[in-house]
Structure 1
Amino acid sequence: MKKVSRRSFLEKSSMVLASAAAITAIPASAQAAQAPSMFVHHVYFWLKNPSSKPDHAKLLKGLQSLTSIEAIKTSHIGVPADTNRPVIEKSYQFSLLLIFNNRQDQDTYQTHPTHLKFVEDCSNLWTKVIVYDSVNA
């Protein structure tokens, strides 16, 4: 093991502490501006026949096909969780959460042939769809 003089140790420690202080001195607004951009697309589906197993299976298969679109960074297909609090909405049958790097990738997704085919093949299954799009605050 290499011997380190007290002076060398203190000099290096001072530089590390000064660097840490400089990083934490950056205003929160500047740190937020440096955060990677993100576009979140969250879709909720209400089926015409919520108790129909074939309709559930067809919509699930359609939703799974969407996850192959290259513009999507992260995806999640969900159903209502078994939670009960007054603020929880559980009347939907499926949710689709898609995360994109930016708005342009989400726009690409909207016109992608796989997405257009999904809408064509599955739109007859639902009575209601709600979309929540959000970006970094």
Structure 2
Amino acid sequence: MPTESPIAQRWEVLHETLDERQRRLLVGVEAKVLGRGGISAVAAATGVSRVTIMAGISEIEAMKSADLAEDSTTAPKVQGTRQAGGGRKKIETKDETLLPDLLALLEPSTRGDPESPLRWTCKSLRNLADEL
């Protein structure tokens, strides 16, 4: 007999195949179906934050109200999760001299095989950041 709840079993099967929005909607639906105490139960079963579950419930309610306001013959619009090119840019693209400068700082105190990509140094991250 399985010891996991059905919610946890469904989550284990599905969560890796869903994007962020779909995950929020899934946990929101699960919590809404359970009713009172559903948010806590889903949070315990899936490990998802209660805030995320509440956001999923809000999105479901917003979709319901949008569906009621629109003509039922039109299909709902599918939107992407993230904007193309969104997110933090790599620091190497902002400062092209960063990697050569860092290697120059590490070179005098580097230990180990010079052919290996693994580098050993006695300098701390804080000291390296201050020197850069």
Q: Which has the higher contact order (CA 8 A, sep 6+)?
A: 1
- Report the TM-score when normalising by structure 1: 0.21
- Report the TM-score when normalising by structure 2: 0.21
Structure with the higher fraction of residues in strand conformation = 1
